[in-house]
Amino acid sequence: MGSSGASVEAVFFGTTTVYLSDGTSGILIDGFLSRPSLLRVAFGRIAPDLARITGALARVGLTRIDALFVAHSHYDHVMDAPEVVKLLGGRLFGSESTLNVGRGAGLGEQSMTRIADGDEYRVGAFTVRVLAGDHSPGNRFPGVIEEPLVPPVRASRYRDGGCFSFLITHPGGSLLIHPSANYVPHRFDGLDVDVLYLAIGALGVQPQQFQSDYWRHVVDATRPGLIVPIHWDDFFISLDRGLRPLPRLFDRVAVARAFLDRRSRESGIAVRFPEPFEVVRPFVR
């Protein structure tokens, strides 16, 4: 039945791409599945890879969605989103920069909604609240995408366009998807959730004070029963090859992991690293 916690399923597709469904309605976050190589990202031009996109969706038999919410418009969040909407239907929700990626891919205005801090959207029995925030430290491509973006383009053309987290509530439970490892002090205070999808990208290279403040203003503030770390995998390799941590050149995932382990022991909050394509019931424990 659509309203019970046991009916809500989640699938992780690497980076911050998370699918949620209650059997009636489906929501996708970001939908980044192409994962072009580092060589191409650094020196070439990038574009959605339809074979990888359809291959990843087929792995879990995902054939339709109602809504796709984009956290920000860097390529590792937004690039594939319009193609996923073309394949699965549903509406693209994002910043004006994200909508310009949609326009460049040929999506019509009737398929897109520009979102802003505090907005709430109903998607079947789900409610999605939009919470603006800050990008993780070291934002390489700040700014906005000012006109329709037609790939292939350099990765640097994907400017962040503003960053969002998503509070998703359902009669069966609540979860916060927090896709960029930064915090606005006290922004999430009182926002109790059952499950926290917590970005840890670049957290391992931040000072200990930052890590500690991040925990305080994101985890302590939302008091989750479970943390699911996201944005820790090496997204320069295809999902077919499984997930492995970002190499040390970019991040210290082992440091972030040790930090989470320690805080998990101290707080009693469970941390569970997700497996790609695995269907889990986040509200059942």
Nearer of residues 18 and 269 to Zn ion, judged by Cβ? 18
Give min distance, CB of 66 to Zn ion, in A.
Answer: 25
Determine whether 247 is exposed, middle or buried from the number of CB atoms within 10 Å of its CB (0-12, 13-18, 19+).
exposed
Nearer of residues 9 and 233 to Zn ion, judged by Cβ? 233
User: What residues between 19 and 58 interact with Zn ion by CB under 5 A?
Assistant: none
Integer CA distances (angstroms), 256 to 18, 35, 203, 269, in order? 21, 22, 6, 16
Nearer of residues 132 and 280 to Zn ion, judged by Cβ? 132
Cα-Cα-Cα-Cα dihedral sign, residues 154, 155, 160, 166: positive
Bridge partners of 127?
A: 122, 169
Nearer of residues 19 and 32 to Zn ion, judged by Cβ? 32
Among 74, 157, 170, 178, the residue binding Zn ion under the rule CB under 5 A is: 74
Nearer of residues 95 and 174 to Zn ion, judged by Cβ? 95
In this structure, the number of other CB atoms found within 10 A of the CB of residue 283 comes to 22
Give min distance, CB of 160 to Zn ion, in A.
Answer: 6
Give min distance, CB of 281 to Zn ion, in A.
Answer: 29
Give min distance, CB of 74 to Zn ion, in A.
Answer: 3
Instruction: Collect all residues with Cβ–Cβ distance below 8 Å to 129 and sequence separation of at least 6.
Output: 118, 119, 120, 166, 167, 168, 169
For residue 159, state whether it binds Zn ion (rule: CB under 5 A). no
Span interacting with Zn ion, options 58-66, 73-81, 121-129, 229-237, rule CB under 5 A: 73-81
152 prior amide bond cis, ω within 30 = yes
**Residue number, nearest CB to Zn ion:** 74
Q: Which of 201, 199, 205 is nearest to 229 (CA)?
A: 199
Give min distance, CB of 27 to Zn ion, in A.
Answer: 20
Give min distance, CB of 146 to Zn ion, in A.
Answer: 18
Per rule CB under 5 A, count of chain residues that contact Zn ion: 1
Q: Which of 277, 276, 280, 242 is nearest to 60 (CA)?
A: 277
Interface positions with Zn ion (CB under 5 A) = 74
